[in-house]
Amino acid sequence: MAVLPIRKFGDEILRQPAEAVTQFDSALQKLIDDMVDTMYAAPGVGLAANQVGVARRVAVIDLSVGKRRGELHVLVNPEIVETSGEITEEEGCLSVPDLVETVRRPESVTARYLDRSGEERRIFGQGLMARALSHEIDHLNGRLFVDRLRGLKRDRILKKIQKLAKAGMW
Ligand code: NI
């Protein structure tokens, strides 16, 4: 198991729609284990494979950041099947470090996915779990939370990133 470097905003791989997983082999198991290690080390509550440079449809979510058993979700080829409501809350991303903004997301999300052994499963999330599901599935489609911002909020965060990049701090 290993902690992998996390790609930042501006890296092209974050913009590529990731490819579906078809083989549940040892390479996939290693990728998942490395992603979990990387998420906990960051620390973060979610991570998508393209954030560690692998354009495959794999995401991990653990709202407890490893503190509680049974809260780790490994989602292979996840798809949103239903959403309801809308809620605007503060949100960040390991690929946009130290910058947060309020983002509108569904209040509840139902997704279907395959677990790490290829079994079909469903998950229903509300609040922070709905936000995490929406955020990570966005990643797999090449979308970042800044893309969901409009107007002043969007300009503000993009300017901060530009400023950090100019100073060689990105
Ligand atoms: Ni993210």
Task: State in Å: Cα 51 to ligand 1 middle.
Answer: 8
Residues annotated as catalytic are 136
Residue 138 sits in which domain range? 12-166
Q: How far is the CA of 167 from the centre of ligand 1 (A)?
A: 23
| CATH code at position 146 | 3.90.45.10
Between the alpha carbon of residue 65 and those of residues 144, 152, 162, the distances in Å are 21, 32, 30
Residue 1 forms part of a structural domain: no
- Whether 59 is in a domain gets the answer yes
Closest CA to 16 of 7, 3, 25, 28: 7
| Protein residues near ligand 1, an ion, with CB under 5 A | 93
Question: Per the domain annotation, does 49 fall within a domain?
Answer: yes
Please state the pTM of the whole predicted model. 0.97
Domain count, the chain: 1
Asked if the structure places residue 3 within a domain, the reply is: no
Taking residues 151-167, report their average pLDDT.
Answer: 95
96 found inside a domain = yes
Is 4 contained in some domain? Answer: no
Question: pLDDT (tens digit, 9 = 90+) per residue, 16-51?
Answer: 999 999 999 999 999 999 999 999 999 999 999 999
Q: Answer whether residue 99 is part of any domain.
A: yes
The 10s digit of each residue's pLDDT in 49-85 is 999 999 999 999 999 999 999 999 999 999 999 999 9
Contact between residue 135 and residue 91 where contact means Cβ atoms under 8 Å apart: yes
CA of 53 to the centre of ligand 1 (A): 13
HSE on the CB side for 64, CA within 13 Å? 8
Task: Look at residue 5 and tell me if it is in a domain.
Answer: no
Question: pLDDT tens-digit profile of 80-137?
Answer: 999 999 999 999 999 999 999 999 999 999 999 999 999 999 999 999 999 999 999 9
Amino acid at 149: L
CA angle, 153 as apex, 148 and 158 as ends, to 5°? Answer: 85
Q: What pLDDT, on a 0 to 100 scale, did the predictor assign at position 1?
A: 77
b/e map 26-61, b = 16+ CB within 10 Å: eebeebbebbbbbbbebebbbbbbbbbebbbbbbbb
